[in-house]
Amino acid sequence: MYLITLLRHGESEGNSSGVLQGQSDYPLTATGVEQAEQLASYWKSEDTKFDLIVSSPLQRASKTAEIIANCMKVPVEYDPAWKERNFGRLQGANLRELDQQVPPVDFFHPYEPIGGNGESQLDLYTRACQALQKIIRQPAGSYLVVSHGGILNKVLYVIMGITPQGHYNSPIFHFGNTGYAQLRYNSSSRQWAVINLNRQLSHIQVEGLQSWKLD
């Protein structure tokens, strides 16, 4: 049995200033550090066990992972497969000004590189497949993944059997900062159970990436 917890990083400087981050690298804010600390001590108090933490190397994720690893005494590995979507030339754009920078299109297809030279939805989906597969090829156990809203959405697609669609025709799974999803995979029956999505503990959560407009 695999228990997989998918965690979005705490609030970053990019989140608080309303920037579309993608793979550009912003540190956690003081709030983000506090979110990670609160979650770590909650998990510790609940006697939650992780065998391994796998984190995106982007610092908003890696710092979140490090705080949890130190508190819970769990080893961490960094894997670039868990980085956020590459948003191409849109990276660093102000989310509030995006409407002006990116005129609305009649239709976009799932193979279209975002921001000119970024990852298409299908690129992101195939990366998510590979990232998940690496976890499933490890021995059964409890894994914590610390990553980002965009790619975690595609991991949920892979698990649920949803393929990327054109335009806005695919659902968005919201992850607040330090919001997490818990999933259980039974490798003998090959069944996935979604135990919860976007579980949040703290009332200091901040709305992050507004990817609903961009996906």
Q: Cβ 166 to other proteins, closest distance in Å?
A: 11
> Looking at 20-28, 114-122, 131-139, 167-175, which segment touches other proteins (CB under 8 A)?
167-175
DSSP letter assigned to residue 46? T
Cα separation, 3 vs 187, whole angstroms: 11
Cα separation, 66 vs 47, whole angstroms: 18
Question: Whose structure tokens read 């796998």?
Answer: 54
Q: Cβ 117 to other proteins, closest distance in Å?
A: 25
Query: Nearer to other proteins by C-beta: 33 or 197?
Result: 197
Our answer to whether residue 9 is catalytic in this structure is yes
If one asks whether residue 170 binds other proteins (CB under 8 A), the answer comes out as: yes
Out of 13, 112, 141, 174, the residue judged to bind other proteins by CB under 8 A: 174
Cα separation, 129 vs 82, whole angstroms: 11
Burial level of 5, CB count in 10 A (0-12/13-18/19+)?
buried
Provide the mask over 180-209, with x wherever binding to other proteins is found by CB under 8 A and - wherever it is not.
--x-------xxxxxxxxxxxx-----x--
Our answer to whether residue 37 is catalytic in this structure is no
Sheet with 2-8: strands ordered across: 76-78, 52-55, 142-147, 2-8, 180-186
Query: Nearer to other proteins by C-beta: 5 or 12?
Result: 5
Q: Cβ 163 to other proteins, closest distance in Å?
A: 8
If one asks whether residue 142 binds other proteins (CB under 8 A), the answer comes out as: no
Report whether 181 contacts 156 (CB < 8 A). yes
Catalog residues that contact other proteins under the rule CB under 8 A.
Answer: 46, 48, 95-96, 159-162, 165, 168-174, 182, 190-201, 207, 210, 212-213
Active site residues: 9, 84
